[in-house]
Structure 1
Amino acid sequence: MKLLHVIASMDPKLGGVSQAVRTTIAGLAELGIHNEVVSLDASGSPVDPFPLHAVGPGYGPWSYSPKLLPWLLDNFARFDSVLLHGLWLYNGYALRKALHRFQAQQAAAGSEIIPVPKLFVMPHGMLDPYFQRATGRKLKAWRNQLYWQLVEGAVVNEAAGVLFTCETERLLAREPFAPYRPHQELVVGLGVEPPPCDTPAMRVAFAAKCPALQNRPYLLFLSRIHDKKGVELLIQAYAHLRIHMAASTIPLTKPAPVLVIAGPGLETAYGQQMQRLAAELPEASVLFPGMLTGEAKWGAFYGCEAFVLPSHQENFGIAVVEALACSKPVLVSNQVNIWREIVAMNGGLAEDDTLPGTQRLLEGWCELAEHEKQVMSERAQATYRMHFAVGPAAAKMAAVLY
């Protein structure tokens, strides 16, 4: 089987969708499925083990590229299925238009007809009602409603199936738009590749990126520095934790861990605001090493006490699963759609995406006895193996695509 993945960008700095595509491809390749990617990037990555066709750059907020539609028409005949990753951009519009043209061309060809590849859509949380309700998104919410009526509703409703990473995502997708009548709603999961084994070189690489840490225990946030991720809640809750510890109102056996906030976005207005907020705390208690990759990233995971993400909306949370795979408990909001699986397995804690909720997350972790933290670490790894390993998710997706 040959599968074409269509995505706006494979740049890892733009979020988790590109990484989800890479891990999905790795799992499907193990099952003998040939994968290729077409994106609106200006250039491809020389290190990806699959063909990546960059037909960009995409222009403007719609990421329009005049090269995409002709490329699709020229290459559809090579694929059995096409999987659109994400919504709201030109690639979805161009894909539907190209499929209609290709179907018309093949119908006109008569006996020489080539089967039209089946279209599947994987929204990666982009049908979550959060984006229609969030404060400050009224204009974008109105735009999305209009765009759904004109373009996106047809893309979703005409697809052979809509693929979801978890049951919560599937249910939430039914809320914000109408008409919403997909032919199939299919929960296929999303596997995350197991991490490389912990090595001293990883700790050294992370220490080089975060020298002010100086081997102190720390909690790790690793994601985009963005208001959706609840970074301001985390910093405020951490400040509250330190005050309570200083007043001895929480039964703690050791000092508060350092808070490491790693990820791209420090140069944005929000990122600058978060750094100013952290500067009000004692020196070197909140550290911003920037985006971490490779050994430095895994060193950060393996060295932390726990991973924390008080996000206001998280469809899946690849970094959350990576932490679980490294046997690290995760402290998340209940707006991270996989929180139920995590809590049920005792792989971490979950609370509301509010300041009191985030305070309870941090205080709840610090109140645990050492043996309780150790048990939770063991359950974190078990949570990964049961729910988020690559093999089972790839098998589910392959069964759907065939």
Structure 2
Amino acid sequence: MSTPEPQRPGQPSRRILHVISSVNPRGGGPIEGLKQLAAVMHARGHVIEVASLDNPSDPWVASCPLTCHALGPSHLGKYHYAPALTPWLKAHAHGYDAVIVNGIWQYHGFGTWRALAGSKTPYFVFTHGMLDPWFKRHYPLKHLKKWLFWPWGDYRVLRDAAAVLFTCEDERRLAAESFWLYRCREFVVSYGTSAPPPDATAQRAAFLARFPQLADTRNLLFLGRLHEKKGVDLLLRAFAAVRARQPEALRNVRLLMAGPADDDYGQAMQKLAHELRLDDVTVWTGMVGGEMKWGAFRVADAFILPSHQENFGIAVAEALACAVPTLISRQVNIWREVEQSGAGLCESDDVAGTERLLERWLALPADEWQAMKQAAERCFHERFLIDRTADSVLEAMGRFPASR
């Protein structure tokens, strides 16, 4: 793993509080990105803490690597209303130089606004793709409910923030398309992730000790939450279609599905794989982390994400960091960077597009594939290293020192 940069000369030490709905690792990208950014900030001499709406007795609170102020229990289902949040922030905000809200549509954002709007402690908001108009098109009833909440809720959260932080230019551009009532100070950060731990051989060995059947196969890795927006069904249907046309080309290829699959959608995808007669070529690992996660990347020939909506995609950056080329849809908002760097292949987010990804991958000569592996690692270090994220966030804090 790369060593985070020390605090830079002349850069003041800051106390920063992240506010997030939950520190449960199953939350995916937002909490993973928070922890990695915090590690870099801490190495530079900054103090990073987190406030969440978790119950203090939740096991992931105890295992969180950061000082975690768990202010649950929460109520009202997925909204996670926690009455302790706002008074706690009012009482303790003076001890922080800035507060960063991670995500919207749950109480942690609105509760932060109630506590800090107009105060001396600036707050910033990462929307993490939650304003992408894809949700408006595919969940119109949910969007109508959000409209009822938006004018007096998260619209004000964003409007009064010191700045709203976007992980890439595409996310910033798309955010304004969800609601006509939209106003905020926008700032695009150079979002990224940490380089992998250095012992690739040990990571690979640990993974293969659990899944020895993948030792001598070409493994196509999907890693992340199994969710409708990720295009998991597209992957399964496209793989089955290409297999029917080119059985010999896919004879030694395995689908490595790494992510929690125990909910209704995960069960439905496993059933779909069975119906498509993919049981013999599909390995479902469940959630993986630490050495096992990196081991999954190390045994992968390629990473695939035919997502319908992805504001950044930490797993995409992690694949690039491991020199694994990425096969992604053009709805992954960093597809331009991947394509321009020659670090992967990009197509449309439908079955036909996913079939093209697979067929283009299978058709690549060995020398071109090796060049793409080298380009993937180079792309990561030039564009998506977490140190750049820390620089960007600190720049935003210097440029926007106060909330409205």
| Map of 1:220 onto structure 2 | 221
Q: Does 1:357 align with 2:353?
A: yes
Distance (whole Å) between structure 2 residues aligned to residue 155 and residue 315 of structure 1: 20
Which residue type is aligned with residue 220 of structure 1? L
Aligned pairs for 1:327-346 within 5 A = 327-346=323-342
Q: Mark the structure with the bigger radius of gyration.
A: 1
Q: Does 1:15 align with 2:15?
A: no
Distance (whole Å) between structure 2 residues aligned to residue 330 and residue 117 of structure 1: 40
Deviates further, 22-31 or 368-377: 22-31
Q: Does 1:262 align with 2:258?
A: yes
CA deviations on 1:266-292 (whole Å, 9 max, x unpaired) are 222221221122123254211111111
Distance (whole Å) between structure 1 residues aligned to residue 371 and residue 94 of structure 2: 52
Aligned pairs for 1:2-401 within 5 A = 2-43=15-56, 45-59=61-75, 60-100=77-117, 103=119, 116-134=120-138, 137-182=139-184, 184-246=185-247, 252=249, 255-264=251-260, 266-279=261-274, 280-281=276-277, 283-401=279-397
SS at match of 2:317: helix
Q: CA shift at 1:198, angstroms?
A: 3.5
Distance (whole Å) between structure 1 residues aligned to residue 303 and residue 294 of structure 2: 12
Equivalenced residues, count: 380
Distance (whole Å) between structure 1 residues aligned to residue 121 and residue 181 of structure 2: 24
CA deviations on 1:214-256 (whole Å, 9 max, x unpaired) are 532211000111111111110111111211213x7xxx5x844
Q: CA shift at 1:303, angstroms?
A: 1.0
- Root-mean-square deviation (CA, aligned residues, Å) is 1.7
| Map of 2:10 onto structure 1 | none
Which residue type is aligned with residue 30 of structure 2? V
Which residue type is aligned with residue 128 of structure 1? D
Which residue type is aligned with residue 2 of structure 1? R
Which residue type is aligned with residue 267 of structure 1? D
Which residue type is aligned with residue 286 of structure 1? T
Alpha-carbon spacing, 1:382–1:195, altered in 2? closer, same or farther (3 Å): same
SS at match of 2:91: helix
Deviates further, 217-226 or 282-291: 282-291
Runs of 4+ deviating beyond 4 Å: none
Distance (whole Å) between structure 1 residues aligned to residue 215 and residue 45 of structure 2: 46
Q: CA shift at 1:211, angstroms?
A: 4.2
Distance (whole Å) between structure 1 residues aligned to residue 165 and residue 377 of structure 2: 26
Q: CA shift at 1:30, angstroms?
A: 3.2
Equivalent pairs: percent with the same residue?
43
Answer yes or no: is the 8 Å Cα contact 1:190–1:388 preserved in 2: yes
CA deviations on 1:100-159 (whole Å, 9 max, x unpaired) are 4x84xxxxxxxxxxxx1012111011111111111xx22211011111112111110111
Distance (whole Å) between structure 2 residues aligned to residue 263 and residue 355 of structure 1: 21
Distance (whole Å) between structure 1 residues aligned to residue 215 and residue 123 of structure 2: 51
Answer yes or no: is the 8 Å Cα contact 1:24–1:190 preserved in 2: no
Which residue type is aligned with residue 130 of structure 2? M
Q: TM-score, normalised by structure 1?
A: 0.91
Distance (whole Å) between structure 1 residues aligned to residue 178 and residue 123 of structure 2: 22
Q: CA shift at 1:295, angstroms?
A: 1.3
Deviates further, 35-44 or 153-162: 35-44
CA deviations on 1:42-85 (whole Å, 9 max, x unpaired) are 13634544311111122222101121112111111101111111
Distance (whole Å) between structure 2 residues aligned to residue 16 and residue 260 of structure 1: 19
| Map of 2:5 onto structure 1 | none
Runs (5+) with no aligned partner, structure 2: 1-13, 399-404
Distance (whole Å) between structure 2 residues aligned to residue 139 and residue 215 of structure 1: 47
Q: CA shift at 1:95, angstroms?
A: 0.9
SS at match of 2:164: strand
Distance (whole Å) between structure 1 residues aligned to residue 300 and residue 336 of structure 2: 23
Distance (whole Å) between structure 2 residues aligned to residue 343 and residue 356 of structure 1: 19
Which residue type is aligned with residue 25 of structure 2? P
Distance (whole Å) between structure 2 residues aligned to residue 38 and residue 155 of structure 1: 17
Which residue type is aligned with residue 81 of structure 1? A
| Map of 1:112 onto structure 2 | none
Which residue type is aligned with residue 195 of structure 1? P
Distance (whole Å) between structure 2 residues aligned to residue 131 and residue 220 of structure 1: 26
Alpha-carbon spacing, 1:369–1:401, altered in 2? closer, same or farther (3 Å): same
Answer yes or no: is the 8 Å Cα contact 2:54–2:61 preserved in 1: no
Deviates further, 311-320 or 48-57: 48-57
